[in-house]
A and B are shown apart, each in its own frame.
Chain A
Amino acid sequence: MQHDPSRTSFYVGNEFYQSLTESFKDWQTEQLEITDLLLRDTCRMLLEKEARLLDQNRLDDWLRLYVPECVYWVPATEPAGDPRTEIAVCFDDRRRIEDRIFRLQNEFAWSQQPRSRTARLISNVEVFSTENKNILMLRATFLVTEFQAGDKRTYSGWYGHKIRYENDKWNIVAKQVNLINCDQNLRNLSIIL
Chain B
Amino acid sequence: MSSDTNFNRSITTQPESEFDYDELIFEDRVHQCIYTEEAIFRQEMRKIFGGVWVYLAHESQIPEKDNFVTTKLGLRPIIVVRDSSGRIRALYNRCTHRGATVCRHTKGTAKSFACPYHGWSYFNSGKISGVPWPEGYADDFSDPKYNLAQVPRVQSYRGFIFGTLNPDMPPLDEYLGGIKKPLDEWLDRHPGGILSFCDANRLKFNGNWKLLYDNSADGYHVVFSHRSLLAMENRLVENTDEDKGMSYYKSSPDNAPFYVKVFENGHHYKDKRPAVDTSPGGLWRIEGPHPGMENYESMIRDKVGDKADTILDLASSEPVNINIFPNLHILGNHVQVSQPISLTETDTTWWGTSVIDNHDELHGCVDAINALRMRTQESFPNFGEIDDLMNFEQIQAGLAGVEDEWIYMHRGLGIPERIKRDDDGYLIGPPTDEVFLRETMKVYKNLMQSNPSLVVERNIEEATF
Contacts and interface: CB of A to CB of B under 8 A. Distances in A.
Interface string B191-205: 000000011111111
A177 interface: no
Contacts, number: 137
B235 A99 contact: yes
Contacts of A3: 294
B352 A86 contact: yes
Contact of B378 (A16, A77, A91, A109): A91
B391 interface: yes
Q: By DSSP majority rule, is chain A's interface helix, strand, loop, or mixed?
A: loop
B225 A110 contact: yes
Tell which of A17, A108, A183 has the most Cβ of chain B within 10 Å.
Answer: A108
Interface of B: 106, 198-206, 225, 227-229, 231-232, 235-236, 289-296, 298-299, 347-350, 352, 354, 367, 370-371, 374-375, 377-378, 382-383, 386-387, 389-391, 393-394
A104 B4 CA distance: 65
Interface residues of A, number: 47
Contact of B289 (A76, A91, A99): A99
A3 to B, nearest CB: 8
A147 interface: no
16 contacts: A9-B294, A13-B296, A76-B201, A84-B371, A86-B199, A87-B200, A87-B350, A90-B382, A96-B289, A99-B232, A100-B383, A106-B232, A183-B106, A185-B347, A186-B204, A187-B203
Nearest to A96: B291
Contact of A91 (B231, B235, B291, B387): B291
A103 B228 contact: yes
Nearest to A7: B236
A93 B292 contact: yes
Given A99-B235, A103-B228, A110-B225, A87 B198 contact: yes
B291 A109 contact: no
B227 A108 contact: yes
B105 to A, nearest CB: 11
A124 interface: no
A88 B352 CA distance: 10
Closest 7 CB pairs of A and B: A12-B292, A13-B295, A87-B352, A93-B291, A108-B227, A109-B228, A84-B371
